[in-house]
Amino acid sequence: MTPAEQSRHAAEICRLAPVVPVLVIDDLAHARPLAEALVAGGLPALEVTLRTPAALDAIRAMAEVPGGVVGAGTLLTPADVKAAKAAGAKFGVSPGATDRLIAACEDEGLPLLPGAATASEIMVLLEKGYTVQKFFPAEQAGGAAYLKSIGSPIPQVSFCPTGGISLKLAPDYLALKNILCVGGSWVAPKDAMERGDWATITTLAREAAALSR
C-alpha cells in the first residue's frame, strides 16, 4: 500500500467523526466496554496507543466491536507495525516518521497517519505521498495558529492534530480548512474507566461527536 493510498484510507477514517479518541489502556477488561461506549456516543475511530502491556490485546478485543474502526498509536518500529496489523488494527498513528517505519506500513498494508511538527517534516512526508498527516504535539508545537499559517504555503496536506487538545480547544482546530479531525484523550478519562462508568464516557463521546467542522 503506497503512502498515497494510505492517506486516502486515513482521510476516510478521519472523516468518520470530528474526534478520534486517543486511548491508553492498562486493564484489558476495559477494552471492549470502552469501545462500545465510544462507538455508542458517535466516535467510531479509536486509537489505542502501544504504551502498555495490554495494548495489543486491547486492539484485538476492540476490533470485535460492531461499528468500531480500531487503530494503533505510538508506532515507533517495524515490529510495532507488524504486531499492530496482526492484532487487527485498521490504521496506524506515529508521533514522527522514519523510512523504516514507512516501509513497514507499505509492506504490511497498514494505512499510516505519520506525525510531523515542522514545515520541513510536513514537506518530506508530502514528497513521499502522505497528504494526510498527524500534527504532534499540537499545542506545544504551535497549536491552531500554526496550522492555519502552514495551510497557506502547503494547502495539499490535511491534518489530525493531537497533543494537549481539549473539548474547549478542539473547535479552534476544527474550524480550519486543513483539519479533518482532532485526536484527544479527554473523552475517556482514566477515573471513569477505573470506575467502569461507561455511561459518562458515552456522554463525553456524544459531546465530542457534536462538534462542528
Residue 159 parent element (H or E) = strand 158-161
Which residue out of 36, 106, 108, 134 is catalytically annotated? 134
Cell 495494548: give the residue: 55
- 183 touches 47 (CB < 8 A): yes
Which residue out of 36, 47, 106, 108 is catalytically annotated? 47
- 210 touches 47 (CB < 8 A): no
* Residue 12 a catalytic site member: no
H helices of 15-118, in order, are 31-40, 55-62, 78-87, 99-108
- 31 touches 25 (CB < 8 A): yes
* Residue 47 a catalytic site member: yes
Q: What's the CA gap between 92 and 213, in Å, rounded? A: 23
Q: What's the CA gap between 52 and 59, in Å, rounded? A: 12
Active site (catalytic) residues: 47, 134
